Structure 1
Amino acid sequence: MKNKNRIFYITLIIVAAFATAACSTTDVASSSAPVAASTAGTTFAPGKVTVQWLGQAATKITTPTGKVIVIDPWLLTNPKVPEGYKRLDALGKVDLILVTHAHADHFADAPELAKLNNAPMYGPAGLNQSLVTLGVLPAALAPRFNKGGTITPLGPNIKITATHAEHSSELVWRNPATGKDETHVGGEPVGFIIELENGFRIYHMGDTGLFGDMRLIGDYYKPDLLLIPIGGHYVMDPRDAAVSTRDMLRPKFAIPIHYGTIPQLKGTPEEYISAMGTSPTRIIPMKPGEAVQF
């Protein structure tokens, strides 16, 4: 950027989606030039953390030991998802699904993805209770936990903690007997702190506005990477996201999400970067379908 006092864009080496030639990534933690690419036809370095953003809040994380965690899977009707990912089997084998709240743009494809992979879907306790009661998922695929709880469903070296999020969480369910939509308990919205085998910590913030305890989350959990909503209207706008990042959470890296999908989500990565000023956090703007390795 022209203003050298503002945080710079990180150079992204982009490989076109579904390219046939393989390429390796650069370790973001030790380089200012991470690689973003479609994972189709792409070979990533083993033992690293790979984060792929698929649009809105949908994110695929591959851990250093190869476990796959999918967060907020809205894929089939998401207008920003690349065509090649509008099939749930395009994600490959999924080991764990996390849902931050019950709104369709975060939850829509989670039950089918859970059944396809026989993988548990963890979400707010109230949401999962409704899913079991309504017969959407069996209890084994909809285990309950809540804010402050830490789970280790992939083994003791991967820890997932639910945090507060400032939002709402209504579950709209179409009753097959009547063909009509019904609104049910969706639990309280959450974010997730995901600590991986190598100690790298990702904070997927879900949908949220600013709240004061973001400072506590930053001080206590010390996230390395934020997946942060910036669109505004329903979530933080770029200015609020910058306050959260720069003044409260202070991560090494941040990937902006949850913008540009519908007209109300007007915030842009450029506005977010501008609002960050001279913060040392590296902002990594990405296109849906791209991935970056740490």
Structure 2
Amino acid sequence: MSAKLTFLGHSGFLIDDGATTLAIDPFLTGNPKATMSAEEVRCQFIALTHGHADHMGDALAIARRNDANVIAAFEICNYFEEKGHGNVNPGNPGGRIDTEFGWVALTQAFHSSSFEGRYMGMPCGVVAHIGDKTIYHLGDTTIFRDLELIGEIYRPDLVLVPIGDRFTMGPELATRAAEMIGAPRAVPIHYDTWAPIEQDPAQFAPQGVEVEVMQPGDTLQLD
């Protein structure tokens, strides 16, 4: 089996194994770099790293329209239930959730998480095993030593690493983080959406890692 990764812009992705599509952090409305509208997204599952608007974004509208199963921190899932969408799969860092396509595990991340002034639980990274591939979306985070342990446990084929600085790691720390995780391929994310997080992705250069710089709308085949 294989998986196809489509970049939605900022930190958003669609991952398709030919039978099932998982959306991660689908922020499209209000995203100046997006090439797809929220109405165009078709998926059966949505995973969210945390509650900030530039990550949770269009998740509720997409979930309602597709009756998608939402995998996220307990507090985010509670919010979705209160808004009338009960198809949720709550978890927290360290937990693994089995799905029809494989599984999703939530990991630690160092950030904050709120939406419209409401606490949205712990921020997370998302590890998705789909199409016999394991993809680790770090969410919004800085570098931390346990990235090495996460790499040892899950052995991801691909990592999605924030490089925008200010709110997350910048390219220098992101480079070290990718080297610590040890995945063979990496995609830089969470940069150039707005002026405060403008970065040169060429500065993200982990040794021994193939870097794939994606533009919104680009696809990457994981064979």
User: Percent identical across equivalent pairs?
Assistant: 31
* 2:128 corresponding residue in structure 1: 194
Look up the equivalent residue of 2:107 and give its one-letter code: T
Matching of residue 161 in structure 1 with residue 114 in structure 2: no
How large is the RMSD of aligned CA atoms in angstroms? Answer: 1.3
**Which of 143, 157, 168 is the matching residue for 1:210?**
143
Q: Which runs of 5+ in 2 are unaligned?
A: none
How far the C-alpha of 1:240 sits from its partner, in A, is 0.4
Q: Equivalent residue of 2:196, what SS? A: coil
* 1:90 corresponding residue in structure 2: 40
Aligned residue pairs total 222
* 1:143 corresponding residue in structure 2: 89
Q: Which runs of 5+ in 1 are unaligned?
A: 1-46, 173-182
Larger radius of gyration: 1
Task: Pick the structure with more strand per residue.
Answer: 2
- Superposition pairs for residues 242-261 of structure 1, below 5 Å? 242-246=175-179, 248-261=180-193
TM-score, with normalisation over the residues of structure 1? 0.73
* 2:51 corresponding residue in structure 1: 102
The CA distance in 2 between the partners of 1:236 and 1:79, in whole Å, is 21
Over 6 Å off, 4+ runs: none
CA offsets 1:185-210 (integer angstroms, 9 cap, x no match): 20110011111242x21001111111
The CA distance in 1 between the partners of 2:199 and 2:91, in whole Å, is 32
Q: Are the aligned partners of 2:48 and 2:72 in contact in 1 as well (CA < 8 Å)?
A: yes
* 2:174 corresponding residue in structure 1: 241
Q: Are the aligned partners of 2:3 and 2:131 in contact in 1 as well (CA < 8 Å)?
A: no
Look up the equivalent residue of 2:51 and give its one-letter code: A
Q: Are the aligned partners of 2:163 and 2:204 in contact in 1 as well (CA < 8 Å)?
A: yes
How far the C-alpha of 1:290 sits from its partner, in A, is 0.4
- Superposition pairs for residues 5-154 of structure 1, below 5 Å? 47-63=1-17, 65-82=18-35, 85-86=36-37, 88-91=38-41, 93-132=42-81, 135-138=82-85, 140-154=86-100
TM-score, with normalisation over the residues of structure 2? 0.95
The CA distance in 2 between the partners of 1:293 and 1:197, in whole Å, is 11
How far the C-alpha of 1:143 sits from its partner, in A, is 3.0
How far the C-alpha of 1:253 sits from its partner, in A, is 0.3
